Amino acid sequence: MKLCMIGTGYVGLVSGACFADLGNDVVCVDKDFNKINRLKNGVIPIYEPGLEELVKKNYNNKRLKFSTDLNKSVAKSNIIFICVGTPTKKNSNFADLSQIYKVTKEIRGSINKFKIIITKSTVPVTTGDQIEKIISKKKPKKLFSVVSNPEFLREGEAIRDFIYPDRIVIGTNNSRSNKILKNLYSPLISKGAKYINTSRRASELIKYASNSFLATKITFINEIANLCEKIGVDIEDISIGIGLDKRIGGRFLRAGPAYGGSCFPKDTKAIVTTGDKFKTNLSLIKSVIKSNQKRTSLMLDKVNEILKGRIKNKNISFLGVTFKANTDDMRDSSSLLMIPSLAKKGAKVNYYDPTGEKKIFKKIKNVTYCENINTAIRFSDLVIIHTEWNDFKSINFNSVIKKKNFIVYDLRNIYSHSKMKKDKINYFGVGR
């Protein structure tokens, strides 16, 4: 099939490369000329394990193309996936749908034969209705069908998640579109993915409800971790003890910093505003958002407590700054608040991240990027393990760190308390 991905970001590029690998002709379009040029030259704009190989392989065999010409790309394709961003609107909790509607207006002129227009971007309930309305002002309804097909991939495991999804959700009551899309996804269905055909609105809501539920699970275990710290119990035992219950499940049940990333913070806010729009108080999700927003200051209070209120002139090293491992995505990472706050209080902050230096920290006084773990932590008073990259899982702190009485604050509970005690390392975890 001939597919067009509009928006060549985390979702558009990964799903475009995977669809090409499944034998489809795919063109990935972006308005960012620089990004498209770099992709044509084999430079992958994001860090995602396995993506570079997949893109190069399919670009070389000509199943995957890159373009900035939206109209030509749409005209040549049968299925159009909208994969542009839906961030939170400035100074509000609403999803900013300007990119979605801009694309909608741009593509409608190129609808020259029957096309399926899919929202793969996460969009609030009724966005599909609006897209249909906008296109039908210029094109007859028989020429197009607007379908919701939310994406559930996780950054860092995006290719695996795309190829082996738990489910594929298709929101449409148009049987022709449903048949075509079932066929498109048949290689994944035959590997065990469940295919769900539902209404467009239900599909849109499934995505928000899923992300809100996962955010709730993380926030739940983070709050239990707060309690564990007070009563001297290890949260890791609690996570295992409750996660083994099949009704609960162990995933997304690890205590740590506030959840971040490009999805949970914005999607929890957006579903709450959808609730308000339909006069439904989503009080549970509201309190999840509040609890998560407070979490970074809790972590900062803990740093203050660990350093006995003496942050000024302390050497603090961050290991990892992205919101999670195996991605270079910094969106809503808790490091964005923690690092500037500690630097403002007079700490000298070093950081190392396997995905390299971050532009956002360049402007901040007293914050330095280090090329490797050893340089980052050599003269540390406090090492903060912020992101659980494998690179940080077996550091011999005693042989690297030159400072006496250094402290390790492990926000991901990577290390065991007993091992650190045996090595005489002053160690703090989360919820232990």
Applying CB under 6 A, the residues found at the interface with ligand NAD are: 6-12, 29-32, 35, 70, 83-86, 99, 102-103, 121-122, 151, 153, 155, 262-263
Hey, which residues are catalytic here? 263
Q: How far apart are the first and last CA of the chain?
A: 53
Q: Render 186-242 in DSSP notation, one character per residue.
A: HHHHTTT-EEEEE-HHHHHHHHHHHHHHHHHHHHHHHHHHHHHHHHT--HHHHHHHH
**Contact criterion met (CB below 8 Å) for 63 and 25:** yes
The residue number with the shortest CB distance to ligand NAD is 9
The token pair that represents 5 in the structure block: 């991905």
Q: Which residue's CB is nearer to ligand NAD, number 260 or number 429? A: 260
Please state, in angstroms and rounded to a whole number, the distance separating the CA atoms of residues 51 and 306. Answer: 40
Shortest Å distance, C-beta 294 to ligand NAD: 24
In the block, residue with structure tokens 């001297």: 232
Please state, in angstroms and rounded to a whole number, the distance separating the CA atoms of residues 352 and 392. Answer: 10
**Contact criterion met (CB below 8 Å) for 229 and 431:** yes
Q: Which residue's CB is nearer to ligand NAD, number 84 or number 181? A: 84
Shortest Å distance, C-beta 57 to ligand NAD: 21
Q: Which residue's CB is nearer to ligand NAD, number 74 or number 407? A: 74
Identify the H or E element spanning 184.
Answer: helix 175-184
Q: Which residue's CB is nearer to ligand NAD, number 154 or number 302? A: 154
Shortest Å distance, C-beta 353 to ligand NAD: 18
Q: Which residue's CB is nearer to ligand NAD, number 153 or number 407? A: 153
Please state, in angstroms and rounded to a whole number, the distance separating the CA atoms of residues 342 and 348. Answer: 8
Q: Which residue's CB is nearer to ligand NAD, number 264 or number 406? A: 264
In the block, residue with structure tokens 């749409």: 74
Please state, in angstroms and rounded to a whole number, the distance separating the CA atoms of residues 59 and 61. Answer: 6
Please state, in angstroms and rounded to a whole number, the distance separating the CA atoms of residues 321 and 325. Answer: 9
Query: For residue 352, what are the CA distances in angstroms to 147, 203, 318?
Result: 42, 40, 6
**Contact criterion met (CB below 8 Å) for 232 and 182:** no
